[in-house]
């Protein structure tokens, strides 16, 4: 990532401090980026700094992962506290008006934050959205079933035995990742860095350690009955081969009145890496259109 004008620091939030970084200093409305997991730090999203020529792009690592504090307190790992954290970051950085972009697990945080009707969020971008954990899990199991029979059998065997650290299990999971999470190989350095900074306690508490089942406190998470409450301009994005499938993403799109949907034909769950230039063009155009309408 070419940082250009960038600065970073720490913000006090409920339970500790979170690390943030602001890239760029353009005059357009800032873009606040919510990474996945929860518990998978911002690093893999660094390509979004490409948008910083026009506007500040704000990254932060949610509490419990990356460069942020890691308190040993499982009571902190709740979707409502992560949503509260968004507001605390905005207030500390003076982000009176902001575009909000969530990826994967960050789309849950973004949606729950917006359901409290905060002032000043002028658009929402949901990349690889997960607005229902049960439906996401059903898709994960369906996509795993498309892998070679021996790969699926390996995953099931090791999850039943609890031997998730085995090399055989990791290789089987990597086969799924290569098809449906990020098709670029070798993995970019920023993605490798994100893997090293995962907040394991966070991820296991909210989602769980398994690929084919959800055991964490988000296992019953489903906001499809409230998605219609989103009234700001919204863009849904997924890849043709996305773990957040085009069918499910289209369903979310239809729940939000006036929202837009773009499917990246050569991508899986990481179109900002897999089709980087096209992704930035689509997102940049959307942000500019939103701002132009506000200025009319």
* Residues with catalytic roles: 104, 242, 269
Strand boundaries in 133-255, DSSP class E: 234-239
153 sits in which H/E element: helix 149-161
Q: C-alpha distances in angstroms, 286 versus 94, 241, 276? A: 23, 23, 15
Residues 191 and 276: their CA atoms lie apart, in Å, by: 14
Collapsing DSSP to helix, strand or coil, 256 comes out as coil
Residues 74 and 232: their CA atoms lie apart, in Å, by: 33
Residues 82 and 91: their CA atoms lie apart, in Å, by: 15
Cα–chain center distance at 46: 12
Residues 27 and 291: their CA atoms lie apart, in Å, by: 11
């Amino acid at each position: 990532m070419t940082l250009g004008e960038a600065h970073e620091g720490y913000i006090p939030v409920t339970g500790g401090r979170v690390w943030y970084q602001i890239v760029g200093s353009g005059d357009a409305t800032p873009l606040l980026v919510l990474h996945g997991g929860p518990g998978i730090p911002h690093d893999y999203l660094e390509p979004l700094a490409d948008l910083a020529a026009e506007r500040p792009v704000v990254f932060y690592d949610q509490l419990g992962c990356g460069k942020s504090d890691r308190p040993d307190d499982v009571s902190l790992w709740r979707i409502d506290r992560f949503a509260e954290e968004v507001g605390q970051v905005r207030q500390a950085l003076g982000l009176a008006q902001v575009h909000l972009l969530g990826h994967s697990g960050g789309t849950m945080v973004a949606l729950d934050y917006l359901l409290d009707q905060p002032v000043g969020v002028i658009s929402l971008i949901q990349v690889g959205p997960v607005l229902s954990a049960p439906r996401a899990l059903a898709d994960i199991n369906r996509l795993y079933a498309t892998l070679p029979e021996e790969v699926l059998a390996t995953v099931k065997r090791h999850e039943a035995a609890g031997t998730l650290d085995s090399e055989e299990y990791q290789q089987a999971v990597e086969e799924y990742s290569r098809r449906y999470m990020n098709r670029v190989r070798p993995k970019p350095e920023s993605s490798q860095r994100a893997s090293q900074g995962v907040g394991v306690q966070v991820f296991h508490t909210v989602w769980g350690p398994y690929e084919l089942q959800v055991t964490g406190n988000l296992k019953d998470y489903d906001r499809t009955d409230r998605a219609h409450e989103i009234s700001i301009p919204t863009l849904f994005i997924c890849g043709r081969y996305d773990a957040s499938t085009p069918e499910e993403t289209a369903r979310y799109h239809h729940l939000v009145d006036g929202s837009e949907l773009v499917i990246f034909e050569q991508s899986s769950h990481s179109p900002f890496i897999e089709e980087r230039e096209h992704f930035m063009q689509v997102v940049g155009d959307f942000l500019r259109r939103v701002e132009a309408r506000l200025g009319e």
